[in-house]
Amino acid sequence: MKKALIIIGSGFASYQLIKTIRRSDKNLPISVFTLDAGHDYNKPDLSHVFSKQQTSRDLIRQSGDEFASENNITLNAFTKVDSIDTNKQEITVKGVKHAYCNLVLATGAKTFIPDAKGNATNEVLTLNTLHEFEAAHSTLRKSNTVLLLGAGLIGTEIAMDLASSGKNVVVVDPSNSLIANMLPVLIAEKLQKKMVEAGIRFELNKTVYALNHNEDKIAVTLSTGEVLRVDCVISAAGLKANTGLAKQSGIEVNKGIKVNALLQTSARHVYALGDCAEINGKVRAYLQPIMLSANALAKTLLAQPTELTLPAMLIKVKTPLMPIQLGGEPVLDVNSWQVDIDAQGYSLSAYNEQKETVGFVVTEGHMKNAFPLLRKLSTPL
């Protein structure tokens, strides 16, 4: 019997890989092991479910069973993989061993929850997966005041969506500006101003010291000593790659599971893909690099070794009050900026010491400048 390609995880990366393989090979045995139901859904939609008044069912494109049937795979839903033996090329699940020809780790990432004291720390909600949204939906629906941990990309998008749905929103972040690792302060300040005008409150340069139950509320004590009473707390403080299974198996990990240009890990016949994979020192948790990675890996797994090449890519920030697109590195290691401002918005180009364009940001009516600026980037994202 031919050994199967085994994939651990059923998120966007996993399913994109399967769809790509099936366009070329309809019969390669593929087994998927996943901790959840294995439904096919669009994860970026989770950041604007509130204003659209959506439920988890609205986000499901195909049930796990439907996806498995259509793509001729064996889906092992609600199943935990206990260990990997990279020498014998097999995984163990509840004492049963499953042999693989190749193994793909698409284990994704989990939301980082900052440490805090108090008796309500286990009440912090996360919205990184469909399952997490399902678990939090009832609480969020009943909540009037929501505190968000994190003013990064996802936190900012969720904050705006919650406010648009009528919630009172407070955002706490230790940085002094929004999306600090991606937006120059000039742009971040304008975005913050628009969000404040929409009723969103920001507590920047602060952290949460404690979370405690207080009657039917949660008392949030900030690092300054101020106490806020809210109905629920959501963490959007960043993602941490799920590397535990790989590390336990002796596979090299850092920020994520380290892979080479073929997306192969330090173990033969074992690959990593998506939010858990570290490519050239970076975990690239965006749709475009994941799609390109899936396309390259599909060829490699079908005996056509293909190195991943990532071009400069465009990131769209889903903030309707102030649409933003960016590319490259407009903040980190930047020597100078050039800014074009008018009543329509901003176009900002970032340069290194050699006067090469290394990043850009465009807003609102300047969106037409995004692709011309993308072509000028001297380095990929």
pLDDT of residue 378: 59
Task: Please choose, from the candidates 210, 137, 140, the residue with its C-alpha nearest in 3D space to the C-alpha of residue 169.
Answer: 140
pLDDT of residue 52: 81
- CA–CA separation, 87 vs 95, rounded Å? 18
Q: What are phi and psi for residue 93, nearest 5 degrees? A: -130, 115
- CA–CA separation, 153 vs 155, rounded Å? 6
Q: Is the dihedral of CA 33, 295, 61, 315 positive or negative?
A: positive
- CA–CA separation, 271 vs 259, rounded Å? 7
- CA–CA separation, 258 vs 269, rounded Å? 14
- CA–CA separation, 350 vs 234, rounded Å? 33
Cβ neighbours, 10 Å, residue 69: 12
Rounded to two decimals, what is the model's pTM?
A: 0.91
Residue whose structure tokens are 């020597």: 335
> For the chain, which ranges sit under pLDDT 70?
1, 378-381
Half-sphere exposure of 283 (CA within 13 A, CB side): 23
Task: Please choose, from the candidates 286, 293, 303, the residue with its C-alpha nearest in 3D space to the C-alpha of residue 272.
Answer: 293
Q: 317-348: buried (b, 16+ CB within 10 Å) or exposed (e) per residue?
A: bbbeebbbbbbbbbbeebeebeeeeeeebbbb
Q: What are phi and psi for residue 183, nearest 5 degrees? A: -115, 130
- Whether residue 79 contacts residue 32, with contact meaning beta carbons closer than 8 Å, is answered with no
- CA–CA separation, 85 vs 342, rounded Å? 60
pLDDT of residue 379: 54
Half-sphere exposure of 99 (CA within 13 A, CB side): 5
Which domains does the chain show, CATH number per domain?
4-109+239-301 (3.50.50.60), 113-235 (3.50.50.60), 323-376 (3.30.390.120)
- Whether residue 271 contacts residue 314, with contact meaning beta carbons closer than 8 Å, is answered with no
pLDDT of residue 1: 62
